[in-house]
Amino acid sequence: MTRTLFTHARLLDPASRLDREGEILVSEGSIAAIGEQLPRDGAEIVDCGGHCLAPGLVDMRVQLREPGDEHQETMATAGAAAAAGGITTMVALPNTDPIIDEFALVEFVARRSRDIGLTRIRTYAAATKGLRGKELTEMGLLAGAGALGFTDGITAIADAVVMRRALAYATNFDLLVMQHPEEPRLAEGGAMTEGEIATRLGLPGINPAAEVMMIERDLRLVEITGGRYHAAHVSTAEAVEAIRRAKANGLRVTCDTAPPYFALNETAVGEYRTFAKVSPPLRSEEDRRAVVEGLRDGTIDAIASDHAPQDQESKRLPFPSAASGMVGLETLLPLALELHHSAGVPLLRVLAALSHRPAEILRLPAGKLAVGMPADFAIFDLDRPWRIDVNAFHSKCRNSPFDGRPTQGRVLRTIVAGRTIYADSGAAS
Amino acid sequence: MRHRRLPTGETRLPLPEPRLLPIVPALMTAQSASLAFPHRHLLGIEGLSPADITALLDRSETYIAHNRQADKKQSLLRGRTIINLFFESSTRTRTSFELAGKRLGGDVINMSAQWSSIKKGETLIDTAMTLNAMHPDVLIVRHPESGAVQLLSEKVDCAVINAGDGMHEHPTQALLDALTIRLRKGRLQGLLVAICGDVAHSRVARSNIQLLNTMGARVRVVAPRTLLPAEVERLGVEVFHDMAQGLKGVDIVMMLRLQLERMQGSFVPSLREYFRFFGLDSKKLEAAKPDALIMHPGPMNRGVEIDTEVADDIDRSVIRQQVEIGVAVRMACLEALGETPRNIAPAK
């Protein structure tokens, strides 16, 4: 029987609001005991050196490019990157080639996850066949195979009738429908957020209203259907406010955001920096602040990495033609910790958005330090300063606008089911 | 070897003084002072100081008379290779640059989007690297996407002139417009300029707004709301949606070309409606100052954005002078960049 005792740790559990020094005993991949001065009897000891031990991160939205675009990323390289980022579970979007709209492909993801044996990989399934936005997928069968929710990935479910039926049908099995909230016609051809900077650069703009319009439409459909709805990567003040109101009205609505939307604003585009081209686009400083406030008050439930690997050929193009997206697995934790260090968001609130809340939304047995839970942990030095270096990434792609950014908080060790899947050089042992 | 003035803070020249017209420029001689232009590339008007602009305009002025001589050939750029790289079709701009380069004695090569490797899907950067390996001295680039010329300039060792990138900038057009105005009005400072038409999709408008503001003119834009970019007033312009109000008391009326594909129902309902409300005719022109100049970057859509009677008004329309001055301005730009020593550190 493998037993590991993590000692001298600052235990942080957002679910129970625990924040104190202690020890945690892991047996057979699960948490066996939490306390102080736990019995050693033969357990392997991991001295955490006083650093933080929190539930492993649950990254609720990543693009893994496997199957189909393995030159950009594979589940193995993404797994290594996620492990280095303190992520113990990540959930892939279905926009691969082939598209994940058949239950055999959901099972394929599960098998690859087991074979790779790093960060746990789960997947959403397409909400509509072929992501074409017309016919519903076999939601019941797909959920049975392990799909955690239904989404058309990086495209919006634009047709109101299709969205209504997806939400309504999903209620049969109480399944989650996740939207890429952007009115596609209004956003068509847009390269960055509309405003003075886009005008100066001569780039076609996307009005920020494209986001709130789609969310408000969907919220009406949620009222009609009683569906369980999640808005992905919320980026505007108005969208945050719409979701705040919907929650106050008791709708079953959740949302997340991603680091670019609280750590950057539209000025990062600078002189056509394509690494700052993301979807939705980087917004104004006012919007960025509203996202921070949404995270502080819990309107925004979760922070996802929105990991979107793009190779050089996709990014070294004129801005309007360049692909959208940035890699995010290895920078998720330090960028989220900026909310604590610089914006004064309570640490447990930040960690809840990174683990406990996404696990709750996805109904995963994760995101908690509690006896009987899987032993998925991130051990990190909360204060250690370092500089983000894309050349040290485990991901196949380097498309991060955060290269060179000084940051604070570093993953020391990542544990899945009691097993160390990543240890920083110089980590406590 | 000529000595160049180093870019320092105190070289800023005074704004141009009002002058009498016509100006009779001195002929270019080998002894004339070198043109101070402290930039590696000409990617846009943004980033140029009033001194930079004035220096280019002053030098351009000398070339106008030069170009009227029978013998137009100079040897200033002898041995230099200039490549016209046009990813978007163009006749007048390409020809204008080609003439400018040849009159300065440079070897000019034209490459267009029909160039086989571009057709075969070669990326912009690969094209840039390929050309760079042939050691050109100046690349003149037009591209349909904003920012493409800057991207290319980051990958080559030679000087790059932006001949129009998407909806971003077209600096030589703004310079030639400014010189046209200066020759007729004697100054730029304090003039009231109305830029009318499709501002949203116009690189000419963006470069002109930058230049005119830099030189102390006041700029208005007059257009239907569908043809104005978001927050355009933040560029330092007054916004009008009515020609009678927008042209009131202006010294210069600058018309923009309306792309035909934008006219049929997408941005404006029809040609006749556009002409009725935003086309320049003698009636609408009455609001402007009696001596207001009419400009157009060409090619004109007669009867769409401009009435023939107005376009051909020999007293007020300077549309053909703009073309003449364009060659002179491009000669000055080529001189400014073509003479730059190749061994200066590449810009970031």
Q: Do A204 and B143 touch (CB under 8 A)?
A: no
CB proximity list for A220: less than 8 A, separation 6 or greater: none
- The catalytic position among A13, A69, A306, A381 is A306
Question: Using CA atoms, how far apart are residues A143 and A174, in angstroms rounded to an integer?
Answer: 10
CA distance B112 to chain A (A): 18
Residues of chain A with C-beta less than 8 angstroms from the C-beta of B143: 318
Q: Looking up tokens 């390409």, which residue turns up? A: B94
Burial annotation A293-307 (CB, 10 A radius, 16+ → b, else e): bbbbeebbbbbbbbb
Residue B112: per-residue pLDDT? 79
A306 flagged as catalytic: yes
Residues of chain B with C-beta less than 8 angstroms from the C-beta of A316: 123, 125, 151
Work out the widest C-alpha separation in chain A, in whole angstroms: 68
Residues of chain A with C-beta less than 8 angstroms from the C-beta of B234: 196, 199
Question: Using CA atoms, how far apart are residues A423 and B175, in angstroms rounded to an integer?
Answer: 60
Burial (CB < 10 A; 0-12, 13-18, 19+), residue A258, is buried
Give the strand order in the sheet containing B107-112.
B107-112, B81-86, B138-143, B159-165
Question: Using CA atoms, how far apart are residues B113 and B108, in angstroms rounded to an integer?
Answer: 17
Q: Do A201 and B229 touch (CB under 8 A)?
A: no
Question: Using CA atoms, how far apart are residues B171 and B333, in angstroms rounded to an integer?
Answer: 10
Query: Does B226 contact chain A (CB < 8 Å)?
Result: no
Q: Do A318 and B234 touch (CB under 8 A)?
A: no
ipTM: 0.87
Residue B18: per-residue pLDDT? 45
Residue B119: per-residue pLDDT? 62
CA distance A258 to chain B (A): 26
Angle, vertex CA A18, rays to CA A15 and CA A23, nearest 5:
115
Query: Does B41 contact chain A (CB < 8 Å)?
Result: no
Which chain A residues have any C-beta within 8 angstroms of a chain B C-beta? 194-196, 198-205, 207, 271-272, 313, 316-321
Chain A: residue whose CA lies nearest to B165:
A202
Residue B28: per-residue pLDDT? 45
Per-residue pLDDT of chain B (348 residues; tens, 9 = 90+): 344 444 444 444 444 444 444 544 444 444 356 777 899 999 999 999 999 999 999 999 999 999 999 988 888 999 999 999 999 888 899 999 999 999 999 999 998 776 666 666 678 888 889 899 999 999 999 999 999 999 999 999 999 999 999 999 999 999 999 999 999 999 999 999 999 999 999 999 999 999 999 999 999 999 999 999 999 999 999 999 999 999 999 999 999 998 776 666 689 988 889 999 999 999 999 999 999 999 999 899 998 899 999 999 988 999 999 999 999 999 999 999 987 554 444 443
CA distance A211 to chain B (A): 17
Residues of chain A with C-beta less than 8 angstroms from the C-beta of B231: 195-196, 199
Residue A291: what are its φ and ψ, rounded to 5°?
Answer: -65, -40
Handedness of CA B175, B176, B177, B182 (dihedral sign): positive
Prior bond of A358 cis (ω within 30°):
no
A319 touches B145 (CB < 8 A): yes
Question: Using CA atoms, how far apart are residues A173 and B62, in angstroms rounded to an integer?
Answer: 80
Q: How far apart, in Å, are the Cα atoms of A179 and each of A249, B49, B189? A: 20, 48, 53
CA distance B6 to chain A (A): 26
Residue B3: per-residue pLDDT? 45
- Weakly modelled stretches of chain A, pLDDT under 50: 427-429
What one-character DSSP code corresponds to residue B28? P
Residue A239: per-residue pLDDT? 98
Work out the widest C-alpha separation in chain B, in whole angstroms: 59
Q: Is A300 left (phi over 0), alpha (psi -120 to 50) or beta?
A: beta
**Which pair of tokens denotes residue B202?**
């116009």
Q: What is the pTM of this model?
A: 0.90
B residues 166-195 closer than 8 Å to A (CB) = 166-169
Residues of chain A with C-beta less than 8 angstroms from the C-beta of B166: 202-203, 318, 320
Residue B259: per-residue pLDDT? 79
